[in-house]
Structure 1
Amino acid sequence: MRSVWHVKFYLLLIVLQISIFTAFAQTAPAPSTSRTLLRTGHLLDVKTGAEPTGQTIIVTGDRITAITPTASTPKQTGDTEIDLTRYTVMPGLIDVHTHLTMANNFDPYFELSMTPAKEAIIGVENAKVTLEAGFTTVRNVGANDFTDVALRDEINAGHIPGPHMQVSGPALGITGGHMDENLLPYEYHVHGQGVADGIPAVQHQVRENIKYGADLIKIGATGGVLSKGDDPQASQYTLEEMQAIVADAHRLGRKVAAHAHGAQGILFATEAGVDSIEHGSYINDEDIALMKKKGTYLVPTAYLIDWAQQYANLPPLYAQKMKDVSAVEKANIHHAIQSGVKIALGTDAAVYPHGLNAHEVDVYVNQFGMSPLAAIQTGTINAADLMSWTDRTGTIEPGKWADIIAIDGDPLKDVKILQHVNFVMKSGIVYKDETHKQ
């Protein structure tokens, strides 16, 4: 008898909840249908390089709803008008290799003293800086304790400013590899959160990362620079382990990004079917041929070398590896680009200060020989393609997110002007507006 009363009680609660939600839905204000009219000077079409004048971008809610000639688009009652007629307007930029929850500090004690709370706070700061630098979308490829998942969710909820994010959670790697925690001695028995060895273990780690909110999977195919005791040229995961990772990730709807400096690791990762090779410092002709055959993206993270040579004060255990990689990476990446490998813009921001992301575009043009348009495409349409977000971002077109930036000048003549944007709109909300400064 008691169980019957329990059932009736819970049914009553459910009915009350439905009534409350129904009442709220009936009284809650409807989403705003007012328009924002962005009056542009030059509107850059990143597909063709065309820069028509006198265009108006019509934004409703978080989406672009139309692009029309300004002369035939008068302001209506309720419209908000934004004057960008002095500026070149273009889609928000995309960085597919960031670490928003990490700081530009590689002192071993700082690394060991990091906590989830500190990572989360650092992430809030860096998300704002990155957005205000004109990067309205990022992939975050590696964070401890799923702090990047929390950051993404809080940004999406509108609680803090930041770019659209795809996040990986802890990067997968082998015991003692680039993704492990190698700074402490044996008696501490500390392992990196994404460490997994063997096919069953890597399958479990992929599934666990997805369980806790990962949008993509990041793996260590080779050693790295900013890690103790490993060799950037040495492959780490076996081909079979990476094939298992990719099979599970792709079946579950996630792409795979492979940290890979050494040529053999690049080859293994590409053969396994990863979607992007990050860094690619020792890439060779065999790697290039296979990447072109499979359509694998290369994410060069090249500006960090210039920054490190000028400003970094790395501990000795990292400094020599950075010097060795820096000696070869630029020439190899230049060769890969000239050979026709697909490129998506990624920076490894955190190795250098967040907010300097657009310096990467300058390297592509003035060191790797890309045209300004091709370089801009790496951080717009190419990056959107790698993220499978072509329907959402990468160009200014009706139906896509209203992710829009404005710069004072023509980036097709000088891409360096992208290093300071004057206006940033993300999802129809203005986060930066310096257009009224004299």
Structure 2
Amino acid sequence: MVSSGRLRPPDIAGGRPRERARTCARAALGLAILLACKTEQAVTDGPVPADIPASSLTVYKFARVVTAPDQVVEGGAVVVDGKRFHSVLAAGEPLPIGARIVDHGRYTAIPGLIDAHTHITFCWDPAWGDRAPHDPFQIAQSKAQLLPLVAKNLRTLLSLGVTTIRDLGSDNQLDLETAARVEAGELVGPRIFGAGDGVWSSRLAPKESTRPGQADGVEQVAATVRREIDAGVKVVKLWASTGSDDDLSGERTYSYDEIKTAVDIAHAHGIPVAVHDTLGTVTDDIVRAGADSVEHPRTLSPDTLAHMRAQGVAYVPTIHHNRYYRDNIERFRFSPDKRAAFDAFIADNIATARAAHAAGVTIVMGSDAVYTAFGESTRELDVFVRDVGMTPMEALATATTDAAKLLRAEDRIGAIRPDYLADFVVIDGDLSQIEHIHNVVAVVKEGAVVFEAPAGK
């Protein structure tokens, strides 16, 4: 569940002069040091980097630094300059004179985590009743009602070490509005790669639905994709099959030509495409059309997996998501007989993920978190290790380097490297056990401390 730790507002991102950004970052970091009762140390020896004044640097010392999966610097230190990583120092390497030092002693640093499938605007306030609403896109709720709950979801994700999310479907582009507010510093939360309303067929929902994004036929699909791109989406989401909540069906809703049209237009604008396919019955066409990822599929044949690997199409299985629904059947007013259906789906989902992993398909972590599930978002990593057969480092890749590549952001997030955005998580323990990834001590996003666990936690 969500820790009751302290959350810190980050620096306002974008357009700020470099010196002002450094000043704000140093102020936030200094406050974090005092609150954590850590002694600030003045370094008396060691070279000053030639390209930058040492006084603008902050050095975080660790028992180990996981710069990327399977890349560990024992006794290493992370050097941060404003919002970006400056360097990683090996054990015993001289520290820059005049730099600010934060000694995290026995702890481990890992890159900020990426959740590649969320619905950040799907909220539920217990004040609305003792059971969750059966209104996934929250059409009945006003923005005034939703925004405080969305802000809470964002803070919850930060407390888990999630510093970036790919949000795959909102109502009236509320995720894009939220992304802009996070970027402006008005909200504290992970950066958001939003899909806006997404693109969906009338076969998925009634024609009289007032939710935007409905498109039937190649021409409507093309027009809707262009509208979403003009609105500022960072990913195009396409629902190519039925299936959601307790509906575990997977009937086709889009033809190959409709999928291909969406993919071609999005890719022409440099935007990746994620496609929903609950059962996997449409995945061959999704791969042939050149989409970037397929979401949820319950079963995939060996031939399909081989094609996915050859074409570089990522698989986002969202396994834990169905466990959440299964464990909350009464809360969601699902029929009791759905428990067995969820169990069967989960078993197939795990078997498919195991086969995909063995076949070398890129698997990316996505929680598909909704309502009260945001505090469980990183539990998908436990599933990958315990049930799918990954090592902890392989699981870490699904939420860092591989996820960053899927977002087309591997040049700035997903690893602790010079000039990357300074996103990292301080955890208690190493990654010999995946459970240690949940022992979050602090979270830094773009060089600012945005979460700290309470003392003694």
Q: TM-score range by the shorter chain?
A: 0.7 to 0.9
Q: Which moved more, 1:49-58 or 1:247-256?
A: 49-58
* Cα separation, partners in 2 of 1:360 and 1:30, compared to 1, 3 Å: closer
SS in structure 2 of the partner of residue 113 of structure 1: coil
Match 1:56 to one of 57, 65, 77: 77
* Match runs of 1:146-295 below 5 Å: 146-177=173-204, 180=205, 182=206, 189-226=208-245, 232-295=249-312
TM-score (norm 1): 0.85
Report which stretch shifted further, 379-388 or 122-131.
122-131
* 3-state SS, counterpart of residue 200 of structure 2: coil
Counterpart among 133, 138, 144 of residue 160 in structure 2: 133
* 3-state SS in 2 of match to 1:144: coil
Q: Tell me the distance in 2 between the aligned counterparts of 1:432 and 1:73.
A: 29
1:350 matches 2:370: yes
1:340 CA displacement: 1.7
Deviation, structure 1 residue 39: 0.9
Q: CA deviation at 1:371?
A: 1.1
Q: Which residue of 2 aligns with 1:35?
A: 57
- Contact 1:43/1:53 (<8 A) preserved: yes
Q: Is the 8 A contact 1:55 1:70 kept in 2?
A: yes
Structure 1 contact 393–400 (Cα < 8 Å) conserved: yes
CA contact (8 A) 2:283 2:304 kept: yes
Distance 1:51 1:109 in 2: 45
**Residue 376 of structure 1, aligned match among 396, 399, 420:** 396
Q: 1:56 to 1:109 in 2, by over 3 A?
A: closer
**Root-mean-square deviation over aligned CA pairs:** 2.5
Q: Give SS of 1:292's match.
A: helix
Q: For residue 436 of structure 1, report the CA deviation from its aligned partner.
A: 5.1
Between the aligned partners of 1:66 and 1:435, the Cα distance in structure 2 is 29
**Secondary structure at 1:258's aligned position in 2?**
strand
Deviations 1:315-359 (A, max 9, x none): 337973645533522222222222221111111011651132221
AA partner of residue 140 (structure 1): D
TM-score, normalising length from structure 2? 0.81
Per-residue CA distance 1:364-410 (angstroms, 9 max, x = gap): 00100111111111111100111111111111111101101111111
Confirm whether residue 107 of structure 1 aligns to residue 136 of structure 2: no
Q: Deviations over 1:44-90 (max 9, x none)?
A: 2324x24332222110110000112464444644x332221110111
Instruction: Measure, in 2, the Cα distance between the counterparts of 1:319 and 1:204.
Output: 41
Counterpart selection for 2:433 from 407, 410, 414 = 414
Q: Following the alignment from structure 2 to structure 1, what is the Cα–Cα distance between the partners of residues 365 and 456?
A: 30
Report the Cα distance in structure 2 between the residues aligned to 1:97 and 1:339, rounded to whole angstroms: 22
Query: Whole-Å Cα distance in 2 between the matches of residues 191 and 164 of structure 1?
Result: 28
Aligned counterpart, 1:92:
112
CA distance in 1, matches of 2:197, 2:434: 34
Q: Is the 8 A contact 1:372 1:414 kept in 2?
A: yes
Instruction: State which of 284, 296, 302 in structure 1 corresponds to 2:313.
Output: 296
Question: Is 1:175–1:191's contact at 8 Å kept on the other side of the alignment?
Answer: no
Higher Cα Rg, which structure? 1
Using the alignment, how far apart are the partners of 1:223 and 1:284 within structure 2? 20
C-alpha distance after superposition, 1:244-294 (max 9, x if no partner): 000111001111000112232111211111100011112222321221221
Cα gap change, 1:261/1:420 in structure 2, threshold over 3 Å: closer, same or farther? Answer: same
What is residue 29 of structure 2 aligned with on the other side?
none
Q: Which has the higher contact order (CA 8 A, sep 6+)?
A: 2
Secondary structure of the residue aligned to 2:63 is strand
Separation (CA, whole Å) in 2 of partners of 1:217 and 1:109: 22
Runs of 5+ unmatched residues, structure 2: 1-15, 24-52, 125-130
Question: Are the equivalent residues in 2 in contact too, given 1:142–1:169 (CA < 8 A)?
Answer: yes
State percent identity of aligned pairs. Answer: 26
Shift, 1:40, TM fit: 1.1
Q: Give distance in 2, aligned partners of 1:326 and 1:64.
A: 39
Could you say if the C-alpha distance between residues 410 and 211 of structure 1 is closer, same or farther in structure 2, counting changes exceeding 3 Å?
same
Please state if 1:336 is matched with 2:363.
Answer: no
Q: In 2, distance between residues paired with 1:238 and 1:317? A: 32
Does the CA contact (< 8 Å) of 1:344 and 1:379 recur in 2? yes
Aligned to 1:424: 443
Q: Provide the residue aligned with 2:68 in structure 1.
A: 46
The whole-number CA distance in structure 1 between the counterparts of 2:391 and 2:20 is: 48
Contact 2:292 2:406 in 1 (8 A): yes
